[in-house]
């Protein structure tokens, strides 16, 4: 979905870009005082194979009184590089895709939509369908991986093991479509670089049906287990009012608004989104003909600020670019859904024990690199 806005001066366009927001580190560690007060510092290098960030747990006795999250370790200047690479589409696209590796497909879609909005490039209905298909595969792969990891964190190993393998199946399905497990280089301005010929379509559909059965069994077991549900229920609550005040987006917002905002709610929403994504996938795959002759969708505009929003798996991913009168890119801004949600994670930990951090963290699973850029 793209939106085009016109500004008179580049300053007003740039300030609009900045107003789209992002994560801001706490100014400094505010010391916590008192007899039972103590701090636990974690990171930037974590114990697992994950990205760097620094967490400061400020505790009163056993309970976390406040969690401060310091990010920026991954900052490598993606936005600046995209502007510098103007005129070199493959490079700009590769940069967009590496904002956050697990959201490559959504990022390539958003970037492509921006380029399509200012150039006379048209996108065929077939390409749009293929993009949706890849996006849904990305969504499922990530949700499955996270639900599995959540099961692992509460020592429910059957689902942890099954989901670890099943997530790989979805990545391999993505690779079947485009050759890369993360959907890299699949989406380009004007369409896609891959196609879905009949034999691939049939293979994908059959594969999806088999894997879906395994996945259903794995998730059913987890959600029907009283020990798992008891552990997740009521842990890491972000109430609806707080979620709205902080401005949470995506899965975390749905969990707080539609359910009661705890780890279990976020897990249920992910399972729900897995279901919805499968329905969409089956619908997309049941269309047999590849070239259905529907009219291509064209966007054009001469000079503007273009804002593209894609429903990435964590929530809305926003890319925005400012172009001058010669259609030269002069500014680029990315707002990953994570940027809005880190504050939610910090809130969820309040009053919890540190030992609840892994499951709270996993239920959000936010992107460090997507925030740091």
Partner 1 sequence: MIKALIARLKQGFRTGTFPTKSGPNLPLDFRGRPVLDAEMTGEDIEKAQSVCPVKDALGFDLEGAKLDLGRCTFCGRCAEVCPKIRFTKEYRLGVFNRADLIVRAGEKSYEPPRQTNPEALALKHTFQLREVSAGGCAACELDANVLGTLAWDMGRFGIRFVASPRHADAIYLTGPISANMQLALDKTYAAAPEPKFLIAAGACAISGGLYQHGRLPATPALFIPGCPPHPATTLEALLRFTGRL
The residues of the shown chain that bind partner 1, judged by CB under 8 A, are 44-45, 47-52, 72-77, 81, 88, 90-91, 93-95, 97-102, 104, 158, 161-162, 164-165, 167-168, 171-172, 175-176, 178-182, 184-185, 194, 200, 214, 217-218, 221, 224, 367-369, 372
CA-CA-CA-CA torsion sign (22, 24, 25, 26): negative
Closest CB to partner 1 among residues 232, 369: 369
Closest-CA residue to 352 (of 63, 50, 134): 63
Tokens of 272: 């729900």
Peptide bond into 44 cis (omega under 30): yes
Kindly give the residue spans of alpha helices, DSSP state H, lying in 193-313: 198-223, 226-232, 240-246, 250-258, 263-286
Closest CB to partner 1 among residues 34, 87: 87
Rounded to the nearest whole angstrom, what is the least distance from the CB of residue 29 to partner 1 in the complex? 17
Rounded to the nearest whole angstrom, what is the least distance from the CB of residue 59 to partner 1 in the complex? 21
> CA–CA separation, 227 vs 231, rounded Å?
6
CA-CA-CA-CA torsion sign (363, 368, 371, 373): negative
Rounded to the nearest whole angstrom, what is the least distance from the CB of residue 49 to partner 1 in the complex? 4
Backbone angles phi, psi at 318, to 5 degrees: -110, 125
Rounded to the nearest whole angstrom, what is the least distance from the CB of residue 87 to partner 1 in the complex? 11
Closest CB to partner 1 among residues 84, 350: 84
Closest CB to partner 1 among residues 9, 355: 355
Closest CB to partner 1 among residues 203, 283: 203
* CA distances (Å), origin 72, targets 24, 53, 318: 9, 7, 19
Rounded to the nearest whole angstrom, what is the least distance from the CB of residue 179 to partner 1 in the complex? 3
> CA–CA separation, 39 vs 8, rounded Å?
50
Closest CB to partner 1 among residues 17, 100: 100
Rounded to the nearest whole angstrom, what is the least distance from the CB of residue 365 to partner 1 in the complex? 11
Q: At what angle do helices 198-223 and 263-286 cross, to 10 degrees?
A: 160
In terms of phi and psi (left: phi > 0; alpha: psi -120 to 50; beta: otherwise), the region of 334 is beta
Burial 8-21 (b: 16+ CB within 10 A, else e): eeeeebbebbeeee
Closest CB to partner 1 among residues 181, 240: 181
Rounded to the nearest whole angstrom, what is the least distance from the CB of residue 319 to partner 1 in the complex? 15
């Amino acid at each position: 979905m793209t939106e085009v806005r016109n500004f008179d001066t580049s300053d007003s366009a740039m300030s609009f870009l900045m107003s789209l927001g992002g994560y801001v580190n706490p100014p400094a560690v505010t010391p916590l005082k008192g007899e039972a007060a103590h701090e636990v510092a974690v990171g930037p290098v974590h114990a697992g194979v994950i990205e760097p960030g620094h967490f400061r747990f400020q505790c009163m006795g056993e309970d976390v009184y406040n969690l401060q999250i310091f990010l920026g370790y991954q900052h490598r200047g993606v936005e600046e590089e995209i502007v510098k690479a103007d005129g070199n589409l493959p490079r700009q696209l590769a940069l967009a895709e590496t904002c956050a590796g697990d959201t490559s497909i959504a990022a390539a879609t958003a970037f492509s939509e921006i380029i399509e909005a200012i150039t006379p490039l048209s996108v065929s209905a077939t390409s749009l369908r293929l993009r949706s298909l890849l996006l849904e595969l990305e969504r499922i792969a990530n949700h499955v991986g996270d639900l599995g990891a959540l099961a692992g964190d509460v020592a429910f190993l059957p689902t942890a093991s099954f989901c670890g393998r099943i997530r790989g199946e979805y990545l391999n399905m993505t690779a079947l479509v485009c050759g890369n497990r993360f959907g890299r280089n699949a989406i380009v301005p004007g369409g896609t670089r891959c196609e879905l010929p009949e034999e691939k379509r049939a293979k994908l559909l059959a594969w999806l049906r088999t894997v879906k059965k395994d996945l259903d069994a794995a998730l059913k077991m987890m959600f029907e287990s009283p020990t798992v549900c008891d552990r997740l229920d009521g842990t890491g609550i972000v109430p609806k009012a707080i979620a709205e005040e902080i401005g949470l987006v995506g899965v975390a917002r749905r969990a707080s608004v539609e359910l009661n905002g705890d780890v279990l709610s976020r897990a249920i929403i992910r399972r729900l989104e897995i279901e919805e994504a499968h329905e969409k996938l089956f619908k997309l795959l049941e269309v047999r003909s590849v070239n259905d002759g529907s009219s291509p969708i064209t966007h054009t505009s001469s000079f503007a600020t273009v804002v593209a929003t894609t429903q990435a798996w964590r929530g809305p991913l926003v890319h925005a670019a400012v172009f001058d009168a010669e259609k030269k890119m002069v500014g680029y801004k990315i707002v990953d859904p994570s940027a809005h949600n880190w504050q939610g994670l910090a809130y969820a930990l309040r009053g919890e024990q540190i030992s609840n951090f892994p499951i709270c963290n996993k239920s959000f699973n936010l992107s460090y690199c997507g925030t740091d850029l």
